[in-house]
A and B are shown apart, each in its own frame.
Chain A
Amino acid sequence: MDASLPAHMRPDRSFQGLILALQRYWADYGCVILQPYDMEVGAGTFHPGTTLRALGPRPWNAAYVQPSRRPKDGRYGENPNRLQHYYQFQVILKPSPPNLQELYLKSLAAIGIDSAIHDIRFVEDDWESPTLGAWGLGWECWCDGMEVSQFTYFQQVAGVECAPVAGELTYGLERLACYLQGVDSIMDLNFNGREGAEKVSYRDVFFQAEQEYSRHNFEHADTAMLFEQFKMAEAACRKYLEAGWKDGKREAHLMALPAYDQCIKASHVFNLLDARGVISVTERQSYIFRVRELAKACGEAWVHTEAGGAA
């Protein structure tokens, strides 16, 4: 940890300080520091900076914060560790560098987790996203028994083999911050690192939002509209994918990103419907399958774009 930092910038004193320290660390490594994707997603992986950029031969090193929405995890702000909206810090390095574990451990040191007094462990956790048609092998990283990150070597994304393989790190920021700040509830986190009257807590920023969105997600979200939106997003995704093939030949694609936006949209709408409890167990599988088919088609389109490595 950088000892010269003023108190309000220190990762163990402020939530934003934690984010800034991670950004700084990965920027120093050479990552492109992206901003959050401007759509509702369930995890940092959905950001096209990961999903799509993980595909194809071109090197790509990026890091960003991604607000993530899990409508079902809402608890009206009452659960100490569960939120329907939270932040992930995402790092994607393609190809995965040989010293990725060391880089990760140094990033922990940069936010104040010293491996001389903390017990840091790599515990098997194979990652799979059925909606994205993606899987990889890796670990959940434990610090003194607490899971603080996910560490994955992507093997396949959007149904496409990763060649080369990308390494993905996902830091659960709230949980990590709770640990660093020594608080038991996310709402008690110091957000801006100031004290007294100047202090802004996580509660100040997000408690009302958690309550409102929990109401929305569980009680009021308009399911008729959402079912319709799902169909529309699905149809639009297919339409853009179809229209994107240059000269109608399946050789070069010109609209993978807008099509993928619709896939993200469908996925989030599905999550909302799921939270509302209007999707039965059997239907659930079929919705997941439909989103996966979109993701796979987008992956297929992407590898035919310039950034996707098409010649």
Chain B
Amino acid sequence: MPDLLLELFSEEIPARMQPKAADDLRRLVTDKLVAEGLVYEGAKAFATPRRLALTVHGIPARQPDLKTERRGPKVGAPDAAVQGFLKATGLKSLDEAKIQRDPKGDFYIGLIEKPGRDAIDVLAEILPVIIRTFPWPKSMRWGARSAKPGSLSWVRPLHAITATFGLETEEPDVVKFSIDGIEAGQTTYGHRFLAPSAISVRRFEDYEAKLLDAKVVLDPDRRKDAILTDAKQLAFAQGFELVEDQTLLDEVSGLVEWPVVLMGSFEPEFLKTPDEVIRATIRNNQKCFVVRDPKTGRLTNKFILTANIEAIDGGKVIVSGNERVIRARLSDAKFFYETDLKTKLEDRLPKFEQIVFHEKLGTQAERIKRIERLAAEIAPLVGADVAKATRAAHLAKADLLTEVVGEFPEVQGLMGKYYALAQGEDDSVAAACEEHYKPQGPADRVPTDPVSIAVALADKLDTLVGFWAIDEKPTGSKDPYALRRAALGVIRLIAENALRLSLLKVAASALAGLSVKPADAEKLPSDLLAFFADRLKVQLREQGARHDLVDAVFALGGQDDLLIIVRRVDALGKFLDTDDGKNLLAGTKRASNILSIEEKKDKRTFHGAPDAALYSLAEEKALAKAIGEVTTEASAAVAKEDFAAAMRAMAKLRPPVDAFFDKVRVNDDDPKVRENRLKLLNEIRSATRAVADFSKIQD
């Protein structure tokens, strides 16, 4: 079956857009083919800075013929209806129609045959539409044609389109279409500098090979491999190792069609600047890799660049040019760093009075004060020194006003630590300047130093309570203030450090510190708690744990100690994995179901202690006894926060519950006995509530 080759040759496509564009092209073309009844065998798309390419192989040469039946008017219907039917079906006369009998009478049936079209014609129709409506994140118009409305929009000017279709054994045909004066053909171009001439291509195999001859590596993965291998090799040859950086590698591979990896160096004196600053400088501004000395783990004075040409001088000029730029950049960075060191962190704070954090939540200075107060309050609860936590909160944001962080926002926090250490702050205080931002996501490290924990919690809780107070909660996919991440951070800080904290109390205290007073201030902490419950569920789901158990625990009410909640969920999950757990859950649910039916029927509840005198069967008595024992035992275990023991106690309920349902008819004819038995069922429900609300657990 024939194959399609499509290439869209343009001016330089931004590196960050290339992977998605290749993917979109493949998806859009193949989806449309399938929708047109052309089921293909395989497809692959590629991107370089100057081209998007797609190969789809095994496309049928023709669409299948389509046969459809159309029901017409009744036999003997008025002429107008018959004429309409003939027109719609294309039949010449009613002789060509079948007659079909159904209960309502005899009807004419027209058989319409739609012959399939040649695939190449279908392609000529769908490709221009896909190109015209391609989902670039940003696109533009250009040239003389842009004077008229409706001119083609592309990510950068589009210059040529290659579109061929045909069998491997034959000369393929060009898919004939044109867009804004660009005629699809089979001519493309090689590397901009190394092989700029036109190349005539037939199909994907010779296309890829000819491009390679013309110094274009079509496949981004091959370019990445080449860059990574060469970069490692260059570093290794000098006894160093490459600091790998996937994001940078992805970007760099989108900036070259013919990667040539070269190594340069800079003056060792720049190494006095922190490694992270050097790396940020070289990476962000110059898109080069840095190199470390495996013996010390620190950076060396080398960098690795990826050029797009094989220079006739072997790259000497390119290396020295890059060295000059990097030298200038590093000398700026060094200057920033040294300038920063001249000002103490606390001396920067007054400037925060001019900087608005959020229109409704005041200035950064006010926010820092709130975090200080909250950190001091949280400190004793997490075993941190109050003075240190206050000091850390006082200084933690100051590096935002330093030159280095202004230049490289990604080293915020880290620079705070360096500057704090340089001015002789306590180690924990310095660490908190960096770590209070952590954890930034599910994979980030959670701080363990109590001072860091106190400030991290204060920072995140102030943010959460603040945005809750001004009703800027996340909705759907919108979370501009990263509140979900903040909540997950709080959960991880508490759970992984095994901290005991009443979230309701802390939230209320954070709320009291705000100058904005929300209308429903009383509801806010519990509303926020529900948000934490949601986040906890998401986290557990992502870990592959049961998230429905969170609801079962929260339904108990009054649960605002995250650590205890997590432990309850954990113990419950383990219990429910056992046979005892599963059966008890089934029994409890059965009891709940019966109760809710009967409660509805009688329009009353069955709370209250059952009357022992009304028990007539052994199973009733046994169950009542077991409930009494289990309740006592489980409550004692819960009081000691030994949830595993509480679950073990619960397990003892299973045999009497099973026996009860086996032998006892709840809806006894004697209304008194019936009521008593329903009360007993209610007791099962209450007993299990010592650990969770079983009715909230999904089966």
**Which of A113-121, A242-250, A257-265 lies at the binding interface?**
A113-121
- Contact string, B289-328, partner A, CB cutoff 8 A, digits 1/0? 0000000000000000101110111001110111011111
Which of A136, A137, A143, A280 makes the CB contact (< 8 A) with B321? A143
Beta-carbon contact of B143 and A146 below 8 Å: no
B142: interface (CB < 8 Å): yes
Q: Given that A95-B146, A124-B16, A144-B318 are known contacts, is A117 also in contact with B140, CB under 8 Å in the complex?
A: no
Closest 4 CB pairs of A and B: A144-B321, A124-B14, A164-B147, A122-B12
A interface list, Cβ under 8 A from B:
57, 80-81, 95-98, 101, 115-124, 126, 136-139, 143-146, 153, 155, 162-165, 167, 179, 184, 280-282
Residues 351-381 of B at the A interface (beta carbon under 8 Å): 354-356
- Kindly list 18 other residue pairs between chains A and B, CB separation below 8 angstroms, not including A80-B328, A96-B157, A145-B321: A81-B328, A95-B143, A95-B146, A96-B143, A118-B317, A121-B308, A126-B138, A137-B138, A137-B139, A144-B324, A145-B322, A145-B326, A146-B321, A146-B325, A153-B141, A153-B156, A164-B144, A281-B356
Which of B12, B159, B308 makes the CB contact (< 8 A) with A98? B159
Tell me the complex Cα distance, A167–B156, Å: 12
Tell me which residues across on chain B come within 8 A of A136, comparing CB atoms: 140
Tell me which residues across on chain B come within 8 A of A118, comparing CB atoms: 311, 317-318, 321
- Contact string, B413-435, partner A, CB cutoff 8 A, digits 1/0? 00000000000000000000000
B271: interface (CB < 8 Å): no
Which of B142, B313, B328 makes the CB contact (< 8 A) with A96? B142
**CB pairs A–B below 8 angstroms (23 shown):** A81-B328, A95-B143, A95-B144, A95-B146, A117-B313, A118-B318, A118-B321, A119-B309, A119-B311, A144-B321, A144-B325, A145-B322, A145-B326, A146-B321, A153-B142, A162-B141, A163-B148, A164-B143, A164-B145, A165-B141, A165-B143, A184-B324, A184-B328
Least CB separation from B316: chain A residue: A117
- Contact string, B238-272, partner A, CB cutoff 8 A, digits 1/0? 00000000000000000100000000000000000
Tell me which residues across on chain A come within 8 A of B141, comparing CB atoms: 153, 155, 162, 164-165
Beta-carbon contact of B311 and A116 below 8 Å: yes
Beta-carbon contact of A164 and B146 below 8 Å: yes
- Contact string, B621-652, partner A, CB cutoff 8 A, digits 1/0? 00000000000000000000000000000000
B286: interface (CB < 8 Å): yes
Beta-carbon contact of A144 and B322 below 8 Å: yes
Beta-carbon contact of B255 and A121 below 8 Å: yes
B341: interface (CB < 8 Å): no
Tell me the complex Cα distance, A282–B148, Å: 39
Tell me the complex Cα distance, A126–B16, Å: 13
Beta-carbon contact of A165 and B140 below 8 Å: yes
CB distance from B283 to the nearest CB of A (A): 12
Beta-carbon contact of B193 and A120 below 8 Å: yes
Tell me the complex Cα distance, A57–B146, Å: 10
Beta-carbon contact of A117 and B312 below 8 Å: yes
Beta-carbon contact of A153 and B140 below 8 Å: yes
Beta-carbon contact of B355 and A146 below 8 Å: no
B11: interface (CB < 8 Å): yes
B288: interface (CB < 8 Å): yes
Least CB separation from B153: chain A residue: A155
- Contact string, B70-84, partner A, CB cutoff 8 A, digits 1/0? 000000000000000
Tell me which residues across on chain B come within 8 A of A145, comparing CB atoms: 286, 288, 305, 321-322, 325-326
B499: interface (CB < 8 Å): no
Tell me the complex Cα distance, A121–B327, Å: 20
Least CB separation from A141: chain B residue: B12
Tell me the complex Cα distance, A163–B355, Å: 41
- Contact string, B497-510, partner A, CB cutoff 8 A, digits 1/0? 00000000000000
Least CB separation from B331: chain A residue: A80
CB distance from A121 to the nearest CB of B (A): 6
Tell me which residues across on chain A come within 8 A of B193, comparing CB atoms: 115-116, 120
Tell me the complex Cα distance, A121–B307, Å: 9
Tell me the complex Cα distance, A62–B363, Å: 48
Which of A139, A162, A184 makes the CB contact (< 8 A) with B12? A139
Least CB separation from A183: chain B residue: B324
Beta-carbon contact of A153 and B157 below 8 Å: yes
Tell me the complex Cα distance, A144–B325, Å: 8
Tell me which residues across on chain B come within 8 A of A167, comparing CB atoms: 142
Least CB separation from B260: chain A residue: A119
